Structure 1
Amino acid sequence: MVLQGKLEIEIEIKAPAAKFYNILRKQNHHIPNISDSIHAIDLHEGDWETPGSVKQWTYTLDGNAPLCVKETVEEVDDQNKTIKFNCLEGEVLKEFKSFKAIVQVTPKAGEGSLVKWTIEFEKVNEDIPSPDAYLELAQKMTKDIDDHLVEA
């Protein structure tokens, strides 16, 4: 069994790429009011926009009790609407030595956008299952944000 891996999902949304990207890039503190899977996002170091700032997310995964993860934005590419998050601590790192999430938002011809989530991970041992539930969480959060932006 492979210890390192990568999972990807692409999700078509109705919202404009710039608006969706802005929520993740500069206004993620609003996400708990938008998605019922995300309960809180608290700032621990820095600010809401600067790469290197540390935030703690409280979320529900597979209907389990709330979990927490501290992350930092490792890279931002505003031109290509790409953000790379790196997990620093939390329950996810009990099963994974490293865990990174990358999101890229691309405008589609006409209306809408394409959101691509990539999860890069390294398991602590080969008995750990692939982190598919985290990809499902990203998909649900993406749909919730899209619904919110389209309704607004």
Structure 2
Amino acid sequence: MSLKGKLETQLEIKAPANKFYNFFKGQTYHVSKATPTNVQDIEVHEGDWESHGSVKLWKYTVEGKQETYKERVELDEANKTVSLVGLEGDVFKYFKSWKPVLKATPKADGSGSMANLTIEYEKLHDAIADPKAYMELLTSIVKDVDDHIMNPEA
């Protein structure tokens, strides 16, 4: 059994791909406002809010438990992709490596976008379950952020 894995899902969102990408690229300080039940805080530890290589600490809740996650952001402007490469945090109790990836693609009909969500990981051992709860968390965050982008005053 391979310890490396990848979970993927795709969501239809109302936000244009550019706005979605730019939100996760440089406005993550709004995530806790957009989805306070999922994400309580994000702090910059190195760099700034919008530069490739910046390091941020997320404080979030998954399955009723508060956790932290320190990541280094990798930006791919051409493909509208944001990768959150794991450095430390609670997920590393179970995983050797951890990388959520968010990508937005405009829909062909011009109405909104498709959000492709991926979590690439390597388990510490084969008794560890696939991180489905974390994909549910990421999906919930993206839905809330989409609503926030389309209606920031809500």
TM-score normalised by structure 1 residue count: 0.95
The residue number in structure 1 matching 2:4 is 4
| Aligned pairs (5 A) from 1:75-86 | 75-86=74-85
Is the partner of 2:62 in helix, strand or coil? coil
Is the partner of 1:147 in helix, strand or coil? helix
Is the partner of 1:128 in helix, strand or coil? coil
Instruction: Measure, in 2, the Cα distance between the counterparts of 1:10 and 1:42.
Output: 27
Instruction: Measure, in 1, the Cα distance between the counterparts of 2:45 and 2:76.
Output: 23
Cα offset for 1:2?
2.6
Taking only aligned residues, the RMSD between alpha carbons, in angstroms, comes to 1.0
Instruction: Measure, in 2, the Cα distance between the counterparts of 1:148 and 1:99.
Output: 26
The residue number in structure 1 matching 2:111 is 111
Instruction: Measure, in 2, the Cα distance between the counterparts of 1:29 and 1:150.
Output: 17
The residue number in structure 2 matching 1:59 is 60
The residue number in structure 1 matching 2:41 is 40
Q: Deviations over 1:80-139 (max 9, x none)?
A: 101121110010011000001111100112211000011111101111110111111110
Question: Which residue identity does 1:25 align to in structure 2?
Answer: K
Instruction: Measure, in 2, the Cα distance between the counterparts of 1:145 and 1:124.
Output: 31
The residue number in structure 1 matching 2:140 is 140
* Structure 1 segments of 4+ aligned residues over 3 angstroms from their partners: none
Q: Does 1:29 align with 2:29?
A: yes
Cα offset for 1:12?
0.4
Instruction: Measure, in 1, the Cα distance between the counterparts of 2:54 and 2:15.
Output: 27
Is the partner of 2:50 in helix, strand or coil? coil
Cα offset for 1:25?
0.3
Instruction: Measure, in 2, the Cα distance between the counterparts of 1:26 and 1:71.
Output: 14
Instruction: Measure, in 1, the Cα distance between the counterparts of 2:90 and 2:70.
Output: 10
Is the partner of 1:60 in helix, strand or coil? strand
What are the ranges of 5 or more consecutive residues in structure 2 without an aligned counterpart? none
| Aligned pairs (5 A) from 1:61-100 | 61-64=62-65, 66-73=66-73, 75-100=74-99
TM-score normalised by structure 2 residue count: 0.93
- Give the share of equivalent positions with the same residue, in percent: 49
The residue number in structure 2 matching 1:102 is 101
